[in-house]
Amino acid sequence: MAETTPRYQDDLYDAVNGEWEKTAVIAPDKSRTGGFSDLADDVEDKLMADFAAVAAGTKPAPDAYFEEATKLYKRAADFTARDAAGIQPALERLAPLAAVSDLVAFNAQAADLATALFPFPFRGSVDPDMKDTSVNKYSLTGPSTILPDTTYYAADNEQGQHLLAIWTDMAKQVLAQTDLSAADQAAYLADTLAFDAEIAKHVKSSEEWADYPKAYNPQSFDEVAAQLGDFDFAGFTAATLPAKPETVIVGDPRFLKEFTTLFNAETFPAYKHWAYVLELLDSTSYLSESLRQLGGTYSRALSGSPEAPSQPKHAYRLANSFYAEPVGIYYGKTYFGETAKADVTALVEKMIATYKRRLANSDWLSQPTKDKAIIKLDKMVLKMGYPDQAHAIFAQLKVPAEADLLTTVITLAQIRHADNLVKLTKPVDRTEWAMPGHLVNACYDPSRNDITFPAAILQAPFYALDQTASQNLGGIGAVIAHEISHGFDNNGAQFDEFGNMNNWWQDADYAHFKELTQAMIDQFDGRETEAGKANGKLIVSENIADAGGLAAALETAKALPDYDGHEFFINWSRIWRQKARLELQKMFLAVDVHAPAKLRANVQPQNLADWYTTFDVQPGDGMYLAPDQRITIW
């Protein structure tokens, strides 16, 4: 029996994207294709060609930043030198860590080891204070686990066992190339796995981190120091920070409370071996080709990609990772331009106006809460396309002369790390951009109450001059309103117009909002996908933003003289087109705060009355949802 194309009324995603998915091919060095991924690939191809041309001398560097980035690109691409050096740069780097004998010696050298960026039993950084975002504070969290999430360590998680076996085999092969004895190699590996398993018992899961206001737990310096046990926190911070942090923002209080179980004089050898092995494996990306291939085995298993990126792609991505903002400015000016920047800014302002109307007409918000929400919209900062100039830190990122690639990367990373720590005594810089201009993405920052729309996302199918206004609003319009909605999702709603965590709600309104949030959790929780069941709690913030974004974009589109609902909903589905390897899908179900693409395309239209009138969706159709089950928040 011949296959038939699904009806829109039964499966919007498959009706729009099914034929494409049948023939779409995922490149061997990639984990997915379609939608965002295709645009990102096109951007990468353009910039790789530009880097190659500048490196070859056939094109002049457009600015000093690009020139410096090209130096890093050329060093990364010099596999003759990398192959000749082999594993030696990593062994030389690891020597100071290997020489530390015990916890007493570690305390004496902790500042130097942290400055050298070796893995630590906790992570410290400087970030805006959530309750006063004009000032920076020192923040402390636990280390990462080898597996993507703590849930992978459950005894019945077969995927976790499978991945850890791959990681273990990879680590064993890399350790075999060091100067450690066979007995030491085995001991280092066993200790690493044991220390990692212990970390997993004490740190938050991705679901817990998704509720990010709960990461705000200020404690006094003395409270934190006491919980760190025999680690000399006072000496460490005195040597690494520009001032003593009287208050420390603890991201995971349980981890800190249980820290001495993980790290003490007895467990120090296991920590040291864990740090050695993790740093060794991280270093493989900057060593010989054989080590780069071997050291990428585990990450390819996570994503399902059969092949590593090509050498030129690897070199480009490394250069881009350090010089992303100036590269994004170059991309924006070269491939986007000021006219398009002005067009999309106008579109964002139009969407904010729609949002104000929707808030004003809300049938469940009280007037005082509406007034505060509209003030928050009025104060929202728009960062469109690309910044006018690169941040000052990029002028400091100078590629050292005559250094191997690993040393070069560590030197640049140290400059960035030092720049972060020095912010402790400086006011928060609200002009910083969260994303570079060539990233195919967008974001909202609750601590700055700003939205960032990089130039690279402003392409078809999201936005194009030859698409109709209805199509553009179903694409970029919904994405824009999605980011605006993040100011009012379960996390963003707890921050005011200045980005401070502050309750601006009337109590009854917030109680009802929490009920609606729970309804959104329930609407997605347990939905089956090819890779498993969705976790409604993990993905709720993005789903609230999708719901608000689609509704606001639809209202804007309906005001058009030539509004076409079919075009609007079809393009909404088209932008979520994705074909991904099963391994990546499984990982995203565990750690990604976004719903799987097909659920994003299909679930939110069902909450809107216009979906049913546009496509004549009736009870019994696959995309029908009873009126009392439809959720409207914003």
Helices (H), 532-596: 540-558, 565-574, 582-591
Residue ranges with strand state E in 194-314: 218-220, 247-250
Q: Which helix (H) or strand (E) holds 384?
A: strand 381-385
Q: Would you state the structure tokens that stand for residue 115, as one six-digit string?
A: 């400055």
Contact indicator for 598, 13 with CB cutoff of 8 Å: yes
Sequence-distant (6+) residues with CB within 8 A of 58 are: none
Which three-class secondary structure state does DSSP give residue 225? helix
Rounded alpha-carbon distances, angstroms, from residue 357 to 68, 368, 473: 48, 15, 17
Q: Which residues are catalytic?
A: 483, 546
CA angle 516, 596, 376 (to 5 degrees): 45
What the block records as the tokens of 371 is: 């007034």
Please name the amino acid found at residue 289: E
Long-range own/partner contacts, residues 312-316 (CB < 8 A, 24 or more apart): 312/48, 312/52, 312/77, 313/29, 313/44, 313/48, 314/76, 314/285, 315/51, 315/73, 315/74, 315/76, 315/77, 316/44, 316/47, 316/48, 316/51, 316/73
Angle at 370 between CA 549 and CA 469, to 5 degrees: 30
User: Quick check: bond before 269 cis, omega within 30?
Assistant: no
Report residue 63 CA to chain centroid gap. Answer: 28
Q: Which of 354, 210, 345, 189 minimizes the C-alpha distance to 274? A: 189
The residue behind tokens 């006011």 is 427
Token pair 């890399």 is found at: 174
> b/e map of 404-441 (b: 16 or more CB within 10 Å)?
bbbebbbebeeeebeeebebbeeebebeebbbbbbbbb
Strands 450-454 and 381-385: parallel
